[in-house]
């Protein structure tokens, strides 16, 4: 038998660790039979399998490569060219295989993440839609609550209050769910999650701190509906205002929180909550204003005896300093909340020259410089820029015409009337004319003057009485917050003004900002620019009036000067004036002044201030002069602005020293905006 191969004796020892006979370790590596080095896996032979020579060669099986010993009989795998090449190929293959393996793992991880995010996104979307649906229902339920409050249906009001609480609680719980926690880490929408949570939290606070207390208070009060049969329930209305004042701090706090949060990018949530914000702001303003008049409400509503107010419709198409021609006057009697209207009286009469008791100062400015008929015509007395003073003169004229005493004057214009009709719905006159929340201003300030003059006053009377009846019949269905907001806007724009003979009540009106008084506070300066139609026409429907206040300059004494610009643009054309507009609109003999608009002006400095550098660029300037009125520095006169032309006033207004706020500018409200 041939001697056994030395490599066989190392079956239980590491390769290269043969021990020589002398017992010393040998560092020589002897050649050993090498199995396949193919990178392709092959099945190992077993005793039950045929020998290699008997097996069919497997596909892609590389031939076995044997090591080649060097000259000394030793084999070095680092120098064998064939082995080195094979090893490099194997190494590259193993690296490629490992890389593919790692890539597969990464892909699987990414897919898993995408799947998880997709599920999360679907969950957030579904949850957001739930919140949006709740928010939409919340808006409707809040509207129902307001209507039920007005109608006195305490059962329905409590049902609405409970539903509001449930909805806000559901919204709060929904945005606290795990889906929203996951969504908060998303870039983009994730930044909105805290905002949405804050918004729903505010809504929940409102339901518990405002809605529920009001419902409980009104349910306990046995006064009944706030409005019923066209009358105001004085005890119920007084109780409501008292409760609103009580919860006003919570309303104001919620309003401030929402303002601080700002809008989100989620429209399905942002849109309904924006409506809630608008309502909340209106309610906050309303409760703040109600607190100023609440002590006087019973007397103002006739609970302590009937009250008579002179309602004056100011027509902006024939403009006056406080609003417009006071052609329509109607007495309104309020007896313990029940409202009735007297007979319509046009302000078309005249007194002898100098009869109406203007002061010497008033006559010098509005009579001489502005060339008005205020000293003899009841329809001209509101050329004076102070509404309390104009109201006193209106009362004098009313009494002098033997119409009886009144307790105050309330003035409104067709633009405000239109906003009220938007709440109640319109009316239809006997000739089929629809007057509503979209067209009332145009009908009453322009369209009516295309009628026969004999039909105009009856039309005004019918619209006035019809509108009042509509307001009375709709009281119980009007959203109270919308009504308060509309009134507040009318006051802010100078389209709703009031004057009370009782000094305490007038002080409350002043606190509301509805007094129409000229600036009396030097620390908070407000200049004024007032205009009066001298054409004797209804052309001011076509007047585009604009104003601006420039950058301030502080003077050595601490006063502040501002450049002011006012423009009057006549938007009519010569062709319109000659061929389209009626004589009632253009005025009598319009060709005598080139078919232009003749407009008196009164520029008034703020309290303690002055006007300088007064310049006018106009087609014609007449009677300009400087004067003093009610201790204010004024410039007055009148100008003619031809069709399609513009008159520009530029001047400097200087405040009293060290004002606490910036200058503002008040201008006579016109019938429409051209901006």
Helices (H), 318-383: 360-362
**Minimal CA–CA distance to 156: which of 144, 164, 166, 168?**
144
Q: CA 421 → CA 12, 61, 168, 418, 517, distances in Å?
A: 107, 95, 32, 5, 27
Q: What angle do CA 657, 661, 664 make, to 5 degrees?
A: 100
Query: Does the pLDDT value for residue 61 go beyond 60?
Result: no
Question: 134-151: buried (b, 16+ CB within 10 Å) or exposed (e) per residue?
Answer: bbbbbbebbbbbbbbbbb
pLDDT of residue 1: 44
39 pLDDT tier (thresholds 50, 70, 90): very low
Cβ neighbour number for residue 122 with a 10 Å cutoff: 11
Reduced to 3 states (helix: H, G, I; strand: E, B; else coil), residue 495 is: coil
Continuous segment of H or E residues that includes residue 396: helix 387-400
Q: What is the pLDDT of residues 134-182, one digit of tens each?
A: 777 877 887 778 777 766 677 888 888 888 888 888 887 877 777 676 6
pLDDT of residue 675: 76
Average of per-residue pLDDT across 223-238: 81
pLDDT of residue 185: 62
Average of per-residue pLDDT across 587-611: 97
Q: Structure tokens of 227? A: 């409005």
Task: Point out the least confidently predicted range of 187-201, 252-266, 475-489.
Answer: 187-201
Query: Does the pLDDT value for residue 649 go beyond 90?
Result: yes
Query: Does the pLDDT value for residue 617 go beyond 80?
Result: yes
pLDDT of residue 65: 47
Reduced to 3 states (helix: H, G, I; strand: E, B; else coil), residue 198 is: helix
Average of per-residue pLDDT across 560-586: 97
Burial class (CB in 10 A: 0-12, 13-18, 19+), 43: exposed
The DSSP output letter for 339 is E
CA–CA distance, 433 with 456 (Å, rounded to integer): 13
pLDDT of residue 374: 97
What is the rounded average pLDDT for all residues in the chain?
82
Query: Does the pLDDT value for residue 614 go beyond 50?
Result: yes
CA–CA distance, 196 with 264 (Å, rounded to integer): 7
Per the CB < 8 A criterion, the answer to whether 656 and 525 are in contact is yes
pLDDT above 70 covers a percentage of the chain that reads: 77
Tally of residues, the chain: 675
Burial class (CB in 10 A: 0-12, 13-18, 19+), 661: exposed
Task: Point out the least confidently predicted range of 110-119, 120-129, 240-249.
Answer: 110-119
Q: What is the pLDDT of residues 478-516, one digit of tens each?
A: 877 788 889 989 999 999 999 999 999 999 999 999 999
pLDDT of residue 125: 63
30 pLDDT tier (thresholds 50, 70, 90): very low
244 pLDDT tier (thresholds 50, 70, 90): confident
CA–CA distance, 167 with 161 (Å, rounded to integer): 10
522 pLDDT tier (thresholds 50, 70, 90): very high
**Minimal CA–CA distance to 42: which of 30, 54, 57?**
57
pLDDT of residue 316: 96
Q: CA 179 → CA 125, 268, 376, 622, distances in Å?
A: 9, 17, 76, 74
Could you tell me which residues come within 8 angstroms of residue 254 by beta carbon, excluding any fewer than 6 positions away? Answer: 202, 205, 206, 209, 210, 280
pLDDT of residue 218: 75
Q: What is the pLDDT of residues 419-471, one digit of tens each?
A: 999 999 999 999 999 999 999 999 999 999 999 989 998 898 889 889 888 98
**Minimal CA–CA distance to 508: which of 301, 294, 243?**
294
Comparison of pLDDT for 475 and 304, the residue scoring more: 304
Q: Which residues pair with 500 in a beta bridge?
A: 408
pLDDT of residue 435: 96
Comparison of pLDDT for 80 and 312, the residue scoring more: 312
Task: Point out the least confidently predicted range of 99-113, 333-347, 457-471, 610-624.
Answer: 99-113
Three-state helix/strand/coil letters over 464-492: HHHHHHHHHHHHHHCCHHHHHHHHHHHHH
Q: For the CA atoms of the chain, what is the radius of gyration? A: 44
pLDDT of residue 391: 98
Q: Structure tokens of 16? A: 């290269």
Query: Does the pLDDT value for residue 239 go beyond 80?
Result: yes
The DSSP output letter for 518 is P
Residue found by looking up tokens 């910036």 in the block: 662
Task: Point out the least confidently predicted range of 35-39, 417-421, 554-558.
Answer: 35-39
Q: Which residues pair with 533 in a beta bridge?
A: 599
pTM of the model: 0.76
Q: Report the half-sphere exposure of 552 (CA within 13 A, side-chain side).
A: 15
Could you tell me which residues come within 8 angstroms of residue 421 by beta carbon, excluding any fewer than 6 positions away? Answer: 427, 435, 436, 437, 440, 467, 470
Query: Does the pLDDT value for residue 267 go beyond 50?
Result: yes
pLDDT above 90 covers a percentage of the chain that reads: 50
Q: What angle do CA 348, 350, 354 make, to 5 degrees?
A: 145
Query: Does the pLDDT value for residue 40 go beyond 60?
Result: no
Q: CA 529 → CA 308, 435, 482, 604, 611, distances in Å?
A: 32, 31, 31, 6, 12
The DSSP output letter for 635 is E
CA–CA distance, 481 with 449 (Å, rounded to integer): 35
Q: What is the DSSP string of 90-145?
A: HHHHHHHHHHHHHHHHHHHHHHHHHHHHHHHHHHHHHHHHHHHHHHHHHHHHHHHH
Q: What is the pLDDT of residues 320-372, one digit of tens each?
A: 999 999 988 999 999 999 999 898 888 888 999 999 999 999 999 999 999 99
pLDDT of residue 289: 83
pLDDT of residue 189: 58
E strands of 323-405, at which residues? 325-335, 338-341, 345-346
Q: Give the distance between the most distant pair of CA atoms in the chain.
A: 159
23 pLDDT tier (thresholds 50, 70, 90): very low
Per the CB < 8 A criterion, the answer to whether 547 and 566 are in contact is yes
Strands 496-500 and 408-412: antiparallel
Q: Structure tokens of 244? A: 């609103």
């Amino acid at each position: 038998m041939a001697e056994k191969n030395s490599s066989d004796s190392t079956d239980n020892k590491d390769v290269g660790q043969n021990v020589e006979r002398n017992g010393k370790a040998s560092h020589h590596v002897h050649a050993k039979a090498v199995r396949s080095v193919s990178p392709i896996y092959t099945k190992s032979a077993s005793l039950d399998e045929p020998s290699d020579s008997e097996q069919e060669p497997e596909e892609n099986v590389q031939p076995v490569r044997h090591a080649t010993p060097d000259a000394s009989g030793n084999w070095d795998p680092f120098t064998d060219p064939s082995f080195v090449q094979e090893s490099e190929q194997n190494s590259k293959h193993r690296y490629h295989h490992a890389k593919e393996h790692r890539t597969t793992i990464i892909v699987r991880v990414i897919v898993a993440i995408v799947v998880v995010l997709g599920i999360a996104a679907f969950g957030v979307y579904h949850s957001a839609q739930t919140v949006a649906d709740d928010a939409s229902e919340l808006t409707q339920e809040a509207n129902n609550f307001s209507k039920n409050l007005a109608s006195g249906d305490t059962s329905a009001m409590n049902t609405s209050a409970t539903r509001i609480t449930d909805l806000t609680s559901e919204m709060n719980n929904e945005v606290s769910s795990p889906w929203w926690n996951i969504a908060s880490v998303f870039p983009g929408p994730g930044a909105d999650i805290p905002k949405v949570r804050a918004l729903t939290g505010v809504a929940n606070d409102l339901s518990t701190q405002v809605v529920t207390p009001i419902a409980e208070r009104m349910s306990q009060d046995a006064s009944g509906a706030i409005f019923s049969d066209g009358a105001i329930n004085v005890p119920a209305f007084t109780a409501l205002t008292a409760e609103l004042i009580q919860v006003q701090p919570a309303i104001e706090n919620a309003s401030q929180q929402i303002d601080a949060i700002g809008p989100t990018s989620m429209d399905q949530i942002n849109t309904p909550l924006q409506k809630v914000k608008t309502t909340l702001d209106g309610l906050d303003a309303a409760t703040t204003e109600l607190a100023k008049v609440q002590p006087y409400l019973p007397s103002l509503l006739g609970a302590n005896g009937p009250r008579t107010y002179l309602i004056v419709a100011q027509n902006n198409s024939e403009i006056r300093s406080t609003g417009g021609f006071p052609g329509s006057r109607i007495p309104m009697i309020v007896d313990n909340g029940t409202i009735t209207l007297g007979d319509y009286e046009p302000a078309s009469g005249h007194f002898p020259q100098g009869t109406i008791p203007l002061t010497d100062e008033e006559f010098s400015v509005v009579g001489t410089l502005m060339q008005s008929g205020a000293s003899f015509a009841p329809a001209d007395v509101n050329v004076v820029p102070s509404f309390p003073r104009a109201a006193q003169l209106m009362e004098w004229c009313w009494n002098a015409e033997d119409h009886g005493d009144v307790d105050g004057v309330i003035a409104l214009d067709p633009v405000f009337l239109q906003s009220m009709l938007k709440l109640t719905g319109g009316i239809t006159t006997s000739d089929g004319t629809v007057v509503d929340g979209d067209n009332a201003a145009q009908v009453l300030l322009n369209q009516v003057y295309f009628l026969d003059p004999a039909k105009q006053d009856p039309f005004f009377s019918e619209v006035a009485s019809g509108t009042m009846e509509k307001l009375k019949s709709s009281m119980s269905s009007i959203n109270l917050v919308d009504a308060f907001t509309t009134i507040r806007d009318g006051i802010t724009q100078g389209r709703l003004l009031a004057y009370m003979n009782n000094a305490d009540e007038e002080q409350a009106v002043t606190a509301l900002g509805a007094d129409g008084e000229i600036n009396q506070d030097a620390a908070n300066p407000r200049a004024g620019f007032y205009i009066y139609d001298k054409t004797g026409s209804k052309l001011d429907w076509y007047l585009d009036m604009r104003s601006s206040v420039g950058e301030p300059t502080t003077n050595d004494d601490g006063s502040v000067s501002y450049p002011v610009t006012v423009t009057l643009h006549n938007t009519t054309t010569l062709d319109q004036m000659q061929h389209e507009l009626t004589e009632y609109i253009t005025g009598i003999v319009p060709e005598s002044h080139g078919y232009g608009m003749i407009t008196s002006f009164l520029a008034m400095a703020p309290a303690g201030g002055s006007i300088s550098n007064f310049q006018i660029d106009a087609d014609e300037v007449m009677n300009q002069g400087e004067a003093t009125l009610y201790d204010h520095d004024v410039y007055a006169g009148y100008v003619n602005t031809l069709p399609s032309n513009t008159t520009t006033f530029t001047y400097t207004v200087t405040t009293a020293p060290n004002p606490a706020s910036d200058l503002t500018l008040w201008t006579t409200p016109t019938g429409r905006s051209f901006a």
